[in-house]
Amino acid sequence: LAIKLDGKKLSQKIAGQLQQRVTKLKARGVSPKLAVILIGDDPASQIYVRNKRRMAKKIGIETSDLRLPVATSEEKLLQIIAELNNDVTVHGILVQLPLPPQINEETIIQAIDPLKDVDGFHPFNMGKLFMGAPYAIPCTPNGIMQLLAEYRIPLAGKKVVIVGRSNIVGRPLAALMINHNATVTVAHSYTKNLFELTRRADILVAAVGKAELFSQTAIKSGAVVIDVGINRNAAGKLVGDIDQIKVADIASYLTPVPGGVGPMTIAMLMKQTVDFAERSVK
Ligand code: NAD
């Protein structure tokens, strides 16, 4: 049976380490602060923001939550971001996506100071990442890398197949894997013979958003399997992109859903905030 890549456990360990770093920062007069902007009342976004606030509180990171009405204009949001960029007490800025249609996502991402860009979505940070010299790293891919490192899973020379090419998961993860000397293939909705490809992977990352798309016929025996997906199945149960029960029989390592990649994403957001706060005093 596959060994569980326990993101919940590792995220708690990281929280403990961050707590100590925050204590040291506070002794030097710096209180790490994360500003979170949430526009509208998307239920999933509200849950994410609440989880982020909870973990920040546990670690001792200050948060300032700005809840804005769904009709907020782009100009108004740009003005708020400009104020946060100039506020020396704020170390990280996060604008919760998705945004309502009157606000252009790219414009907003580019307006955030790259040095306060905790999500790592700004073109400066994406560019640095792809050049092999990251400054800020998107949280979900970063969390996956930390999880693999914790369990000492080697990456150099391994065949990694990433399914999904979004800017928040697949693409930045491909860059990180290349930076760690893996041989990377990125599959997506136009990929032909998907399972033939995934069956060759030493490490498979599923970031598609389709409930239990990958079952045992899609997986090589002994593969490491990372399940990023968060979906509801027909019965309304929270499931990943991997058929967890069947794949656990043949994979060597597997991330559960929930309790795998999800908690690592939030832990990396906290780590990025603390990193920024430390850099601000150096
Ligand atoms: P997205 O919709 O932006 O991207 C999905 C990708 O899957 C696209 O690149 C698309 O080309 C590809 N795809 C779609 N159908 C496919 C198919 N049949 N075969 C192969 N490729 C296909 O999604 P995203 O934001 O990258 O998120 C993906 C999933 O991961 C979602 O379920 C999301 O909820 C979850 N997610 C989880 C976390 C976490 O912290 N655990 C973070 C981000 C996203």
- Please name the amino acid found at residue 191: T
176 lines ligand 1 (CB under 6 A): no
In the chain, where does the domain assigned CATH 3.40.50.10860 lie? 28-115
Instruction: Report which DSSP code applies to 42.
Output: -
Active site residue 119: yes
* pLDDT higher than 90, residue 282: no
Range 28-115: architecture per CATH: 3-Layer(aba) Sandwich (3.40)
Q: How confident is the model at residue 137 (pLDDT cuts 50, 70, 90)?
A: very high
Statement: the pTM of the whole predicted model exceeds 0.90: yes
Mean pLDDT on 106-115:
98
CB proximity list for 123: less than 8 A, separation 6 or greater: 109, 110
169 lines ligand 1 (CB under 6 A): yes
Active site residue 96: yes
| Assigned superfamily of 139-262 | NAD(P)-binding Rossmann-like Domain (3.40.50.720)
| pLDDT score for 156 | 98
| C-alpha 207 – ligand 1 centre gap (Å) | 4
- Cβ atoms of 27 and 280 within 8 Å: the answer is no
Q: SS3 for 255?
A: coil
Q: How confident is the model at residue 244 (pLDDT cuts 50, 70, 90)?
A: very high
Binding positions for NADP(+) are 164-166, 230
| pLDDT score for 44 | 87
262 lines ligand 1 (CB under 6 A): yes
Query: How far is 199 from 139, CA to CA, in rounded Å?
Result: 27
Query: Is the predicted ipTM greater than 0.95, yes or no?
Result: yes
* pLDDT higher than 90, residue 275: yes
CB proximity list for 254: less than 8 A, separation 6 or greater: 2, 3, 4, 5, 224, 225, 227, 242, 244, 247, 248
Q: For the chain, give the percent of residues with pLDDT over 90.
A: 97
In the chain, where does the domain assigned CATH 3.40.50.720 lie? 139-262
CA angle 257, 242, 200 (to 5 degrees): 135
Active site residue 42: no
186 lines ligand 1 (CB under 6 A): no
